[in-house]
Amino acid sequence: MRKPYRNDQKDYSQLKLNAGFSLEEKKKGITDELINAIVMIAMFHIGRENAISRTALVHEIHARGFHQDERTIRIAISEMRRQLGIPIAGTGGKNGGYWLLKDKEESDAYCAVQLHDPGVNLLEQESSVQKNINRWYPNGQLSLPSQF
């Protein structure tokens, strides 16, 4: 039996930095029924070559009676990966979209390029900001450093 989806497993309070956006409110729209609908649609899009565009996915979700906006659907997909391990991939850009990973090889490539590398990049950015914050705020006040 599948573990039930939980809206409260992670504190995203840092996203309150996004003015006018509440992740908690968006996550209230994520139900087991919405997750099942996304999975059912994704079953027709296995492999990168069969990706469904974000717009088409939103239209199909709406056609199934769910009236969630694009952002809620993107959050749902992220939570499906994180909490349930559902192998749904996604990429942006002109030919972007969503698809179910067709095999371990595609999964390894997707995870390396779309998940691992950006994660490492974000950790490197965090480290650099933390290491250099005192250069920007000597004596507690913002000041342009003399040398970059």
Task: State which residues form the domain around 93.
Answer: 15-102
Residue 86 falls within a domain, yes or no?
A: yes
CB 114 within 8 A of CB 103: no
Question: Of 60, 58, 114, which Cα lies nearest the Cα of 88?
Answer: 114
pLDDT at 32: 95
Number of domains in the chain: 1
Bridge partners (DSSP) listed for residue 88: 100
Q: Which tens digit of pLDDT belongs to each residue from 9-43?
A: 555 454 455 666 677 888 888 999 999 999 999 99
Residue 85 falls within a domain, yes or no?
A: yes
Q: CA 17, CA 117: separation in Å to the nearest integer?
A: 24
**Rounded mean pLDDT, 124-136:** 93
User: What CATH code is carried by the domain that includes residue 73?
Assistant: 1.10.10.10
Residue 131 falls within a domain, yes or no?
A: no
Residue 143 falls within a domain, yes or no?
A: no
Residue 27 falls within a domain, yes or no?
A: yes
For the chain, how far is it from start to end, CA to CA, in angstroms?
55
